[in-house]
Amino acid sequence: MNSESYRVQAGKKISLADWSTKGHAGLTKEEGQVLLAPLLEELAEWQERLYAENQQALLIVLQARDAGGKDGVVKKVIGAFNPNGVHISNFKVPSEEERAHDFLWRVHAQAPRKGMIGVFNRSHYEDALVTRVYKLIDVVTAEQRLMHIRHFEDMLSSNGTRILKFYLHISQEEQKRRLQARLDEPGKNWKFNPGDLKDREHWDQFTEAYEAALSTTSDDAPWFVIPADQKWFRDLLISKIVLETLKAMNPQYPAITYDLKTIEIK
Amino acid sequence: MNSESYRVQAGKKISLADWSTKGHAGLTKEEGQVLLAPLLEELAEWQERLYAENQQALLIVLQARDAGGKDGVVKKVIGAFNPNGVHISNFKVPSEEERAHDFLWRVHAQAPRKGMIGVFNRSHYEDALVTRVYKLIDVVTAEQRLMHIRHFEDMLSSNGTRILKFYLHISQEEQKRRLQARLDEPGKNWKFNPGDLKDREHWDQFTEAYEAALSTTSDDAPWFVIPADQKWFRDLLISKIVLETLKAMNPQYPAITYDLKTIEIK
């Protein structure tokens, strides 16, 4: 399971049809679950170092179609962290106040502070995706927004925030199965949103919009296309990539600037 | 283990010396751990209902002396929830901007939205505790702030936010043990803050300040004094109280206003 093979190469035009939704790197579900448990423990350990060091931040962006599994990733992978060091932002349809500002205004306010792991459950990318599909903005404006996003993420990176972006890639059939489950299983009814069906009718336009976004914004803040039809593999691969990134950031416990031995607690 | 017996009665002047730091309700550590696991699962289930209902919020306020276990509660109890439905706020020394406003300004901004569980790791109470002990404000101002806090919490309650406040009650000896461990164990060194020793020297003044706060602000937003010398009991008791509260709030999955059977996913 080589993380790099799921990474979108900077500036290379991609076609999502070339990317598997069902990939499992030759693992069975049972093997994957055995591998996941120690990864989650290691994630928590490296998070403590990040928090203690208090010099760098990690921002994880989750994008997917409806029922793509964003909430599942938050529950399973992000749930492994100490909640004290995690800040999750859910970006919904912008409010009137938010719409009165530039599209990055509300996003910037949610950027993680040093020592923290920030999670964007949906993100600024929606402003170049859903708006593009429904022609609220034209293609030129959408492309311009992607440029502004690149510049914004570049600025965050320069200031100590590492960024990882995951597109949870599900097939049209798998989405159908999951939406149908929300209709069929009473415990899941509340998750069903008729609006999701409208997005589903625009499947191909969303594909195009995602391809444009992924192809042009995968530099220092890389995109990974995660095969997400199988939840266990999705969680495993994301955990692995986040862990590798935390290790590469290599946060250190802060140096103690005084002699601990001279301190007496009365 | 009757939760009510740990609750501060409204308007009754309390003396913390009367409250145990070591209580364990007759349970052994092993028994407590057996009881905790299913409680944490139930907590997650009730949180999903709260989130799905999207009509009420729960605010959990954690206050304690240094090393009292606030971070431990966040990790263990709050960590049981789906992170997507939790918003944790850490209130540190106010910034210049924050100090330029009234003391509730930054706090109000962090109030949980409907469907969410908000956690204040330290809170607006610091502004009537630490400021009082170090005479940054006089006693009259401190009492006035407690009144404003009561009114503020009353307003939140009227608008659908249930509030639970936990004072993690540790003994002076237990604090010494925990601070000493931060000096002695390299992996814990980063948690040591020399400023904690200064607060420790003011132990009795903090006790007085806490007694004043707990005695006068335990109406609809009750305080619980949690015996916290033993971490396992602290976590168990808080889990139990939070679960009882969630059940009493009785959140319901939203009613579906259309006929699910007529929907066909193409």
- Per-residue pLDDT tens over the stretch B143-167: 999 999 999 999 999 999 999 999 9
- Please check the confidence at residue B259 and state whether its pLDDT lies above 90: no
Alpha helices in chain B (DSSP H): 29-53, 70-76, 96-99, 105-108, 126-133, 139-158, 172-184, 195-201, 203-216, 231-249
The 10 Å CB-count burial string (b at 16+, else e) for A182-191 is bbeeeeebbb
Q: Nearest-CA residue of chain A relative to B52? A: A190
Contact A237, A168 (CB under 8 A): no
Rounded Cα distance, B64 and B227, in Å: 11
Of chain B, the percentage scoring pLDDT greater than 70 comes to 100
- Check residue B262 and give its pLDDT: 87
Q: Average pLDDT in the B1-9 region?
A: 94
Residues from chain A contacting residue B254 (CB–CB below 8 Å): 190
Q: pLDDT at position A95, please?
A: 95
What's residue A145's pLDDT?
96
Of B88, B179, B189, the CB nearest to A256: B189
Which chain B residues are within 8 Å of A253, Cβ to Cβ?
A: 187, 189-190
Which regions of chain A are under pLDDT 70? none
- Rounded to two decimals, the pTM is 0.92
> Which chain A residue's Cα is nearest to B172?
A266
Contact of A71 with A182, CB cutoff 8 Å: no
Q: Which amino acid is at A202?
A: H
3-state secondary structure of B89: strand
Nearest-angstrom CA–CA distance, A224 and A265: 50
Phi, psi of A129 (to 5 degrees): -115, -75
Residue A52 belongs to what H/E stretch? helix A29-53
Residue B214's SS3 state is helix
Q: What tokens were used for A137? A: 């903005």
- What's residue B98's pLDDT? 95
Q: Is A200 on the interface with B (CB under 8 A)?
A: yes
ipTM of the complex in this document: 0.87
Q: Which of B84, B119, B201 sits opposite A121 (nearest CB)?
A: B84
**How crowded is residue B211: how many other Cβ atoms within 10 Å of its Cβ?**
16
Nearest-Cα distance to chain B for A140, in Å, is 31
CA distance A150 to A161: 14
Question: Which residues, 6 or more positions from B18, have their beta carbon under 8 angstroms from its beta carbon?
Answer: none
pLDDT average, residue stretch B34-45: 98
Residue A105 falls inside a structural domain:
yes
Question: Looking at residue B260, what is its pLDDT?
Answer: 81
A181 in contact with B, Cβ within 8 Å:
no
B55 backbone dihedrals φ, ψ, rounded to 5°:
-125, -25
CA A143, CA A136: separation in Å to the nearest integer? 13
Cα distance from B26 to chain A (closest Cα, Å)?
Answer: 30
Name the residue range of residue A34's domain: 6-250
Q: Is A67 on the interface with B (CB under 8 A)?
A: no
| 3-state secondary structure (DSSP) of residue A75 | helix
Residue B263 inside a domain? The answer is no
Residue with tokens 């949610």: A110
> Looking at chain A, which residue has its C-alpha nearest residue B90?
A84
In a domain, A87, yes or no: yes
Residues of A in contact with B82 (CB under 8 A): 71, 74-75, 79
Contacts of A89 (CB under 8 A, 6+ apart): A110, A118, A119, A120, A121
Question: Is residue B183 a part of any domain in this protein?
Answer: yes
Q: Is the pLDDT of residue B116 over 90?
A: yes
- Give a yes or no: residue A263 inside a domain: no
Q: Among the residues of B185-221, which ranges form H helices? A: 195-201, 203-216
Kindly tell me the number of DSSP H helices and DSSP E strands found in chain B: 10, 5
How many structural domains comprise chain A?
Answer: 1
Pairs of CB atoms within 8 A across A/B: 92
Instruction: Say whether residue A97 is in contact with chain B using an 8 A CB cutoff.
Output: no
Q: Which residue in A71, A258, A266 is closest to B84 by CB distance? A: A71
Which DSSP letter does residue A189 get?
A: G
**A246 domain-assigned:** yes
CA A59 to centroid of chain Cα atoms: 8
Q: Which residue has the higher pLDDT, B119 or B264?
A: B119
Within a domain: residue B75? yes
Q: How far apart are CA A241 and CA B204, in angstroms?
A: 50
Which strand (E) or helix (H) includes residue B10?
Answer: none
Find the CATH number of the domain harbouring B54. 3.40.50.300
Closest CA to B113 of B91, B92, B84: B84
| B255 belongs to a structural domain | no
Distances, alpha carbon A215 to alpha carbons A237, B2, B123, B167, in Å: 21, 59, 44, 52
Kindly report, residue by residue over B81-104, the tens digit of the pLDDT: 999 999 999 999 999 999 999 999
Do the chains contact at A83 and B84, CB–CB below 8 Å?
Answer: no
A16 CB-contact burial (10 Å; exposed 0-12 / middle 13-18 / buried 19+): middle
B266 interface with A at CB cutoff 8 Å? yes
pLDDT tens sequence across A53-67: 999 999 999 999 999
- pLDDT score at B88: 96
